[in-house]
Chain A
Amino acid sequence: MTELFLQGLWDTIFMTLAATAVAYLVGLPIGVALVVTDDNSIHPMPLIHSIIGFVVNVVRSVPFLILLIAMIPLTRIVVGTAIGTNATIFVLIVSAAPFIARMVESSIKEIDSGVIEAAQSMGASNKTIIWKVMLSEAKPSLVVGMALSTITILGYSAMAGVIGGGGLGDIAIKYGLYHYKAGIMWLAVAILVIVVQILQEIGMRIAKKIDNRG
């Protein structure tokens, strides 16, 4: 039994962290692109901005559970199988990347436009502005966003239990729903709650530590 839970916990954590990491690799640049191509930003490109915004919104508006099922053929092509942790990670990435892009966008937009203008007045290139002004100044907010994204992805990963995605959610569904073992289900849920609390706390602490604004 303990082994089952340890394996479940490990699967959940692995799926969550791996999916978050890759989803950031995809979502962060998209978020930055959304910011810089906006009107009045450092590189306005109205058409590109609308296209990216539209795609992001479409993917975001598909509920995760439906995406999970609808993507089965694609997942099979890309991952080789439509069940298990690796398949789940793939769907998690697709579903979380647009969410992360919007988070990154709103974090960067919190920065006072005057600061960006000051950098422009110094002759900073757009690359410098993105790295040294936008991402650097938004760092605390980005970290909070990352904690939130990780928690959201954790929640989604649990949902993947319905397609036999592995992890604690899988355990909860298998034992709770199919075998009427409520005790096991609640234990899995309790562990999920604790993991979420820990993630949240770590995120907030780091954000507070690196923020020099107050």
Chain B
Amino acid sequence: MAEGKPIISLRNVTKDFETRSGTIRALDNISIDIVQGETYGIIGLSGAGKSTLVRCINLLETPTEGRVVFNGESLTGLSRKELNLRRREIAMIFQQFNLLMQRTALQNVCFPLEIAGVKKEEAARRGKELLKRVGLEDRVDSYPAQLSGGQKQRVGIARALASNPKVLLCDEATSALDPKTTRSILELLKDINKEFGITIVIITHEMSVIQYACDRVAIIEAGEIAEEGSVDEIFTRPKTKAAKRLVFPDQEKTDGIVGENLIRLVFDGGASYEPVIANMVIKSGAPVNIMYASIQNVEGVNKGQMILELSNIKKQSEIQLEYLNEQKIAYEEIGEVK
């Protein structure tokens, strides 16, 4: 269970969409608590309801049922005006950045300040400061069309920070970016979390993003929370089917591999660069057999999975698994381990 004061609580939130072909239940009775100061991940496959969930937090989407509580106050009953005031404390960044194309980087960052009625000179000063913080001090007068995806997202982050929010919602904020840029943006988000104490909510379909940036995670499937817990816990010991599917993707390719002492390892880019297999062998003094491997090195990050046959001597296989636990490498036993 999470400790500390919740900054956002969803209570029995249900969201139905009325469409011509009937009612779609996008969220089904969701209750979660997001604790002040943490980075909270929400992961799920496409169509699981992630965007709907995050849009319910700042009421861009009105829940059909249930309550959204922010900082001890229910948002669901507020008037439009009051809601707009609260929204200044809940900033958001987007997959497609959503910058104003006719405004410069600085003018974009100043936009929330204009909304808040901050004086022009004061806003410009703060805007420049924020752009400097995200590493764009030399692009202050550039238009979005002149910036790369990563730079646009940095402007998006600076803009989000302008109103001094308590929470930053990120809806697939790195999904349009390459792995290296994704890293640098996640790095920036982590720094912001530490530096300003802003609670960060990260929506993604990529486990590596969660593992890299989040303290806790909720797995959402078909509009319901399938599993929730610390990232380490879920990553190394996924309990539900939904969690396993995310931690161990493309299972069907390896369905034919059966036997005893088999484990499946997943490299999602979160693990260290240590030569994992060699160290398992050295530490245990026993060999392992690679039954299947599909690993790609994308810009210095290892991604993919492997099936290993461990030593059939219990003591040795225990040392081998112990090592994986230490390295926080996700694995599941797919053959009985003796």
CB atoms of B115 and A214 under 8 A apart: no
* Chain B residues proximal to chain A, CB less than 8 Å: 58, 60, 83-88, 90-92, 94, 96, 98-104, 111-112, 114-116, 143, 145, 163, 169
CB atoms of B101 and A137 under 8 A apart: yes
Range, interface on chain A: 20 to 34
CB atoms of B111 and A132 under 8 A apart: yes
Partner of A212, one of B91, B94, B102, B112: B102
Residues of B within 8 A of A118 (CB): 92, 94, 98-99
A40 CA / B58 CA spacing, docked (Å): 17
CB atoms of B100 and A124 under 8 A apart: no
CB atoms of A123 and B143 under 8 A apart: no
Taking the complex as formed, is A3 at the interface, i.e. its CB lies under 8 A from any CB of chain B?
no
Partner of B85, one of A114, A115, A119, A123: A123
A112 CA / B96 CA spacing, docked (Å): 10
CB atoms of A128 and B98 under 8 A apart: no
A136 CA / B99 CA spacing, docked (Å): 13
A202 CA / B237 CA spacing, docked (Å): 67
Contact A122 to B99, CB < 8 A, known contacts A114-B94, A213-B145, A214-B145: no
A117 CA / B98 CA spacing, docked (Å): 8
Task: List the 8 closest A-B pairs by CB distance, nearest first.
Answer: A123-B87, A123-B84, A118-B98, A114-B98, A212-B143, A121-B92, A122-B112, A123-B88
A132 CA / B104 CA spacing, docked (Å): 14
Q: What distance in Å separates the Cβ of A44 from its nearest Cβ neighbour in chain B?
A: 12
- Listed by A's residue number, 18 A-B pairs whose Cβ atoms lie within 8 Å are A115-B101, A117-B60, A118-B92, A118-B99, A119-B111, A120-B60, A121-B92, A122-B87, A122-B91, A122-B163, A123-B86, A123-B88, A123-B163, A132-B111, A136-B102, A137-B100, A212-B104, A213-B102
CB atoms of A122 and B143 under 8 A apart: no
Residues of A within 8 A of B91 (CB): 121-122
Residues of A within 8 A of B114 (CB): 128, 132
Taking the complex as formed, is A133 at the interface, i.e. its CB lies under 8 A from any CB of chain B?
yes
Residues of B within 8 A of A212 (CB): 101-104, 143, 145
7 extra interchain contacts, Cβ-Cβ under 8 A, other than A212-B103, A212-B143, A213-B145?
Answer: A112-B98, A115-B101, A118-B99, A123-B116, A123-B163, A125-B84, A132-B114
Taking the complex as formed, is A60 at the interface, i.e. its CB lies under 8 A from any CB of chain B?
no
Point out which of B60, B88, B98, B116 has the most chain A C-beta atoms below 10 A from its C-beta.
Answer: B98
CB atoms of A114 and B96 under 8 A apart: yes
Contact A122 to B111, CB < 8 A, known contacts A117-B60, A212-B143: yes
Specify the chain A residue showing the minimal Cβ separation from B165: A122
Contact A133 to B100, CB < 8 A, known contacts A114-B94, A118-B92, A123-B88: yes
Partner of A121, one of B60, B96, B101: B60
Residues of A within 8 A of B86 (CB): 123
Residues of B within 8 A of A124 (CB): 84, 115
Q: What distance in Å separates the Cβ of B8 from its nearest Cβ neighbour in chain A?
A: 14
CB atoms of B102 and A137 under 8 A apart: yes
A213 CA / B104 CA spacing, docked (Å): 10
CB atoms of B87 and A115 under 8 A apart: no
Taking the complex as formed, is A174 at the interface, i.e. its CB lies under 8 A from any CB of chain B?
no
Taking the complex as formed, is A49 at the interface, i.e. its CB lies under 8 A from any CB of chain B?
no
Residues of B within 8 A of A137 (CB): 100-102
CB atoms of B112 and A115 under 8 A apart: no
A211 CA / B146 CA spacing, docked (Å): 13
A123 CA / B86 CA spacing, docked (Å): 8
CB under 8 Å from chain B, chain A span 86-136: 112, 114-115, 117-125, 128, 132-133, 136
A120 CA / B143 CA spacing, docked (Å): 21
A116 CA / B88 CA spacing, docked (Å): 15
A118 CA / B103 CA spacing, docked (Å): 14
A121 CA / B93 CA spacing, docked (Å): 9
Partner of A128, one of B85, B115, B145, B163: B115
Residues of A within 8 A of B88 (CB): 122-123
A212 CA / B103 CA spacing, docked (Å): 8
A123 CA / B165 CA spacing, docked (Å): 12
A132 CA / B58 CA spacing, docked (Å): 21
A132 CA / B92 CA spacing, docked (Å): 19
Residues of B within 8 A of A121 (CB): 58, 60, 87, 90-92, 169
Residues of A within 8 A of B163 (CB): 122-123
Q: What distance in Å separates the Cβ of A135 from its nearest Cβ neighbour in chain B?
A: 10
Q: What distance in Å separates the Cβ of B288 from its nearest Cβ neighbour in chain A?
A: 48
Q: What distance in Å separates the Cβ of B166 from its nearest Cβ neighbour in chain A?
A: 13
Partner of A123, one of B99, B102, B115: B115
| Complex interface bits, A155-171 against B, C-beta within 8 A gives 1, otherwise 0 | 00000000000000000
| Complex interface bits, A171-214 against B, C-beta within 8 A gives 1, otherwise 0 | 00000000000000000000000000000000000000011111
Residues of A within 8 A of B90 (CB): 121
